[in-house]
Amino acid sequence: MKKGIITIVVLASSAVAGLVLWIIFDDKIFSGICGIVTIVSVLYGIYISLSGKDIVVEYKKQIEDKEKRIEDKERQIKQLEELREYDKKNNIELNAQIEKLLKEKDKLRKEKNELEIQLKQTEKIIEQNKKKDIKKQSSLYKKAYNLFLKGNIEKALNVLSIENLEKYDDADLWFLRAELLWITGNYDEIIKCYKKIVEIKPNCFEAYYEMGMAYQHKHNLDKAVECLDKAIEINPLSTDAYDMKYLICLFKGDYNEAIDCYNDRLIKIKSNDSSSVYNNIGIAYRRKGDYDKAIEYYEKSIDWDKGNPAHTYKNMGNVYYDKGNYDKAIGCYEKAIELEPDYEDAYHNMGLAHQYLGNEDKANDCFQKASMIRHNISFTEYKEETK
């Protein structure tokens, strides 16, 4: 209804503007027509923007609804767990109810996650199209995009069917189809789109990068790396492509390739996040089992870090822990906590190191502090409550 009103306003405003210009320019019809076209173009852009907000608002409403239902399930679970503590006779029945609620909560959480992914992709499509001049796009593009803005993804994809797109040598149409398919999660069809795009535009960085992402979602990691290598070849200054390749190689267990990837990034790209890159190379060396190299790169990361290297100190502590050098591990964890007092992992790992050294009291103290941080309890409150 609102969109119908907006459309009427657009048309009426255009007609009035055209009439005014026609009068001003003393019956110069051409000038009047130009005025109408200009006003329609401007108001059409406003209409598209408002339509985009509608679909985003709808996704946010659905996500909010899922969050409320998840919270409701959590309340019910907590009530039943408390009841179970007092009603030992009906434990079997209560356990069954809790199990059912947990499954329902998990289902809602998955649905919420899917909606969040769809919302993110929707916002991405709208943002990308703000940068384009929609008026210059083909009628097919505009038709599909308008259907998308109304929430009719399936109809938009029907307009952008492969049969229809094969008639045009238009990469933008294939990109729009791929972007809409990301919402549905149809990775095979997404890959087909990007393959068609690189036929039309052989050196298209975006197509190779996004194709790599699609292969990664399909768990075809070798193909993903192959696409990212091509993307890096086209644009060797893309930090995103290097970062994604590193993560995939790390996940694959191809640590040498991950290390080479980030060393290559350090050579080709001078950036402010070199500390993070050194830290990540250290992680790859640790997973590879080369602890001395891991420490070397963690130290480089700390030297480059202009902010807070607490995370790197914790990582270096983990390597010393792996080496069996528990005193040095504790020293690193203490440094991490000095920089970040509520660092739960650092307290927990320091507790493990103290355990190996036989310092049970110190270990328990670390575990206790880690637990309090996890449950948002201040140490002062805890001491007061236990007096």
State percent of the chain over pLDDT 90.
60
- Res 329 pLDDT > 90: yes
Confidence of residue 273 (pLDDT cuts 50, 70, 90): confident
Rounded distance between C-alpha atoms, residue 55 and residue 218, angstroms: 28
Q: What pLDDT is attached to residue 17?
A: 46
Which of 45-49, 100-104, 126-130, 350-354 reaches the highest mean pLDDT?
A: 350-354
Its domain, for residue 336, covers: 289-387
- The answer to whether residue 142 sits within a structural domain is no
Report the 3 state secondary structure along the chain.
CHHHHHHHHHHHHHHHHHHHHHHHCCCCHHHHHHHHHHHHHHHHHHHHHHHHHHHHHHHHHHHHHHHHHHHHHHHHHHHHHHHHHHCHHHHHHHHHHHHHHHHHHHHHHHHHHHHHHHHHHHHHHHHHHHHCCHHHCCHHHHHHHHHHHCCCHHHHHHHCCHHHHCCCCCHHHHHHHHHHHHHHCCHHHHHHHHHHHHHHCCCCHHHHHHHHHHHHHCCCHHHHHHHHHHHHHHCCCCHHHHHHHHHHHHHHCCHHHHHHHHHHHHHHCCCCCHHHHHHHHHHHHHHHCCHHHHHHHHHHHHHHCCCCCHHHHHHHHHHHHHHCCHHHHHHHHHHHHHHCCCCHHHHHHHHHHHHHCCCHHHHHHHHHHHHHHHCCCCHHHHHHHCC
The better pLDDT of the pair 13, 268 is held by 268
Q: What pLDDT is attached to residue 213?
A: 96
Chain-centroid distance of CA 109 in Å reads 17
Q: What pLDDT is attached to residue 316?
A: 97
- The answer to whether residue 273 sits within a structural domain is no
274-288 helix and 310-323 helix, angle to the nearest 10 degrees: 20
Q: What pLDDT is attached to residue 14?
A: 45
- The answer to whether residue 48 sits within a structural domain is no
- The answer to whether residue 96 sits within a structural domain is no
Q: Is 312 exposed, middle or buried (0-12, 13-18, 19+ CB in 10 A)?
A: buried
CATH code of the domain containing 297: 1.25.40.10
- The answer to whether residue 208 sits within a structural domain is no
- Res 289 pLDDT > 60: yes
Confidence of residue 49 (pLDDT cuts 50, 70, 90): very low
- What number is the average pLDDT over the span 369-374? 92
The answer to pTM > 0.85 is: no
The better pLDDT of the pair 40, 178 is held by 178
The better pLDDT of the pair 124, 384 is held by 124
Q: Is 72 exposed, middle or buried (0-12, 13-18, 19+ CB in 10 A)?
A: middle
- What number is the average pLDDT over the span 288-315? 94
Q: What pLDDT is attached to residue 366?
A: 96
Q: What pLDDT is attached to residue 84?
A: 82
Residue 266, C-beta contacts closer than 8 angstroms, at least 6 positions apart:
274, 277, 278
Q: What pLDDT is attached to residue 378?
A: 57
- The answer to whether residue 366 sits within a structural domain is yes
- The answer to whether residue 255 sits within a structural domain is no
Give the tens place of pLDDT for each residue, 160-206: 999 999 988 899 999 999 999 999 989 999 999 999 999 999 999 99
Q: What pLDDT is attached to residue 53?
A: 63
Q: What pLDDT is attached to residue 3?
A: 44
- Res 34 pLDDT > 60: no
Taken as a whole, the chain contains a residue count of 387
Give the tens place of pLDDT for each residue, 82-98: 888 777 677 788 888 99
Give the tens place of pLDDT for each residue, 129-151: 887 777 788 899 999 999 998 88
- Res 384 pLDDT > 80: no
Residue with tokens 């960085």, as numbered in its chain: 205
Q: What pLDDT is attached to residue 47?
A: 43
Q: What pLDDT is attached to residue 13?
A: 47
Give the tens place of pLDDT for each residue, 229-270: 999 999 999 999 999 999 999 999 999 999 999 999 999 988
State the amino acid at position 42 in one-letter form.
Answer: V
Rounded distance between C-alpha atoms, residue 178 and residue 185, angstroms: 10
Q: What pLDDT is attached to residue 375?
A: 81
- The answer to whether residue 58 sits within a structural domain is no
- Res 5 pLDDT > 60: no
Q: What pLDDT is attached to residue 224?
A: 98
| Total domains, the chain | 1
Q: What pLDDT is attached to residue 70?
A: 93
